[in-house]
């Protein structure tokens, strides 16, 4: 969509909207205490409201403003969030939910194969390649989507359909991961999480956040200064590392190295700096507003059968996550976080984690990293599994 076709396109105005949308809905919940927010929390509206604005052409779906913010915002909130990670305490919490994540990943692969088998008569002949890319995205992230698409030579048109399906099924699925918080007690009875296990889980979670939420301006300057310095240094190094277009790029290397460096720094005294979680979540909320703005919902009608297949796939993913929760005796909050670590990756999983319990944000990030590690392998498995069914 061209900027001339929309009402507001100036960079400052777009940034103002992307920042004030979260402010509006977060404060609306606090001021009104409407029951509506129990079922559809503010984060859903923060995501959906920009979709509406872009759909009616108030703001553009594409803008250099979005690209510029994501260029520094995503690396910055990864650094800030990972500075909070306590690896030892995190593994105490995440070990069982790792089993749920693996079950969810298997559900995506099997779900893709089942959906392809049921609808192959209505799907494009190249759809098996698309299912591999979609599985890569839903097990890991966008980088996995690109890597698997390149590996199986997915046509550009099919990649576009995959991106549309990924975006709009995610919009449908995202609210469920918040609403499930209300099912904590019956879900615990179903998965047979004992009171003793729940108590030990709470004790482990309470060890994950020891810092005060109070922020001092020297800390803010130190965090952003260190963050930009790391982004610059790592970005400079990444451009000289081996790359293959569409598979491993300088951006891929930058995120991987920043993740490793931030995890290493979390073991130092830098972890004690206040304000990391508050600042990183602010960046995440703005990022999600921009993702919503970039989703052109009108395009969803161009690939109805692939969208239906994607829905079948996500339903089987949910079923496998629930089965995993039953097998490993995991509560509903960690099941939701394991699922979003697959489907949404590192950008979305901290948001779901923060809604269920803020202390679980570092756990969500680590689970998402495991998803990134699995995405290429299982995405290729899904693609060739679908091809075998042709």
Task: Pull the structure tokens for residue 87.
Answer: 């690896």
Which whole-number Å values give the CA distances from 383 to 99, 152, 240, 377, 380, in the listed order?
Answer: 23, 8, 32, 10, 5
Q: What is the pLDDT of residues 313-332, one digit of tens each?
A: 999 999 999 999 999 988 88
Backbone angles phi, psi at 126, to 5 degrees: -90, 10
Backbone angles phi, psi at 140, to 5 degrees: -120, -85
* Cα 357-135-180 angle, rounded to 5 deg: 30
Rounded mean pLDDT of 219-230? 89
Tokens 């075998």, located at residue: 388
Q: What is the pLDDT of residues 142-179, one digit of tens each?
A: 767 877 887 777 877 777 778 778 877 888 888 888 88
Domains of the chain: 3-388 (1.20.1530)
Residue 299: pLDDT above 90? no
For 119, residues 6+ apart whose C-beta sits below 8 A from its C-beta are 305, 308, 309, 312
Backbone angles phi, psi at 244, to 5 degrees: -135, 120
On average, the pLDDT of the chain sits at 82
Residue 247: pLDDT above 50? no
Q: What is the pLDDT of residues 81-132, one digit of tens each?
A: 778 766 666 666 677 888 999 999 999 999 999 999 998 888 877 888 889 9
Task: Pull the structure tokens for residue 365.
Answer: 């990030």
* CA 111 to mean position of chain CA atoms: 20
DSSP symbols for 245-309: TTTB-HHHHHHHHHHHHHHHHTTSGGGG-TTHHHHHHHHHHHHHHHHHHT--GGGGGG-HHHHHH
Higher pLDDT, 43 or 301: 43
**What's the pLDDT band for 388 if we cut at 50, 70, 90?**
confident
Task: Pull the structure tokens for residue 245.
Answer: 């277009």
Residue 266: pLDDT above 70? yes
Res 114: pLDDT: 94
- How many CB atoms within 10 Å of residue 213? 10
Distance in angstroms (rounded) separating the CA atoms of residues 23 and 36 = 17
Res 242: pLDDT: 82
Q: What is the pLDDT of residues 268-293, one digit of tens each?
A: 878 778 778 788 878 878 887 887 78
Q: What is the pLDDT of residues 225-240, one digit of tens each?
A: 989 999 999 889 988 8
- How many CB atoms within 10 Å of residue 3? 14
Res 280: pLDDT: 80
For 385, residues 6+ apart whose C-beta sits below 8 A from its C-beta are 109, 112, 113
């Amino acid at each position: 969509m061209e900027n001339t076709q929309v009402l507001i396109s100036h960079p400052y105005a777009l940034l103002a909207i992307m920042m004030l949308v979260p402010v509006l809905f977060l404060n609306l919940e606090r001021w009104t205490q409407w029951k509506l927010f129990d079922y559809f929390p503010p984060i859903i509206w923060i995501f959906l409201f920009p979709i509406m604005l872009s759909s009616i052409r108030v703001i553009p779906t594409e803008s250099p403003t979005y690209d510029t913010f994501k260029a520094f915002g995503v690396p910055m909130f990864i650094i800030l969030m990972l500075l909070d990670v306590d690896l030892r305490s995190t593994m105490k919490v995440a070990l069982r939910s790792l089993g749920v994540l693996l079950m969810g990943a298997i559900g995506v692969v099997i779900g893709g194969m089942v959906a392809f088998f049921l609808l192959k008569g209505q799907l494009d002949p190249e759809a098996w390649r698309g299912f591999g890319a979609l599985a890569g995205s839903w097990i890991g992230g966008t980088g996995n989507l690109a890597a698997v698409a390149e590996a199986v030579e997915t046509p550009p048109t099919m990649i576009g359909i995959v991106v549309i399906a990924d975006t709009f099924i995610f919009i449908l699925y995202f609210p469920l991961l918040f609403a499930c918080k209300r099912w904590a007690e019956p879900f615990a009875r179903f998965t047979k999480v004992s009171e003793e296990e729940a108590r030990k889980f709470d004790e482990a979670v309470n060890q994950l956040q020891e810092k005060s939420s109070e922020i001092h301006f020297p800390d803010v300057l130190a965090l952003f200064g260190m963050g930009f310095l790391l982004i610059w240094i790592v970005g400079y190094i990444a451009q000289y590392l081996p790359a293959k277009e569409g598979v491993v790029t300088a951006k891929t290397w930058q995120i991987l190295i920043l993740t490793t460096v931030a995890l290493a720094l979390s073991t130092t005294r830098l972890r004690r700096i206040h304000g990391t979680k508050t600042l990183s979540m602010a960046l995440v909320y703005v990022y999600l507003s921009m993702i919503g703005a970039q989703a052109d919902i009108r395009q969803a009608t161009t690939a109805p059968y692939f969208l239906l297949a994607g829905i079948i796939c996500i339903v089987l993913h949910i079923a496998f996550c629930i089965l995993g929760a039953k097998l490993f005796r995991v509560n509903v909050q960690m099941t939701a976080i394991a699922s979003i670590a697959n489907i949404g990756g590192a950008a979305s999983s901290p948001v779901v984690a923060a809604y269920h319990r803020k202390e679980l944000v570092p756990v969500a990030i680590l689970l998402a990293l495991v998803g990134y590690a699995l995405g290429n392998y299982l995405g290729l498995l899904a693609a060739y599994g679908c091809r075998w069914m042709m």
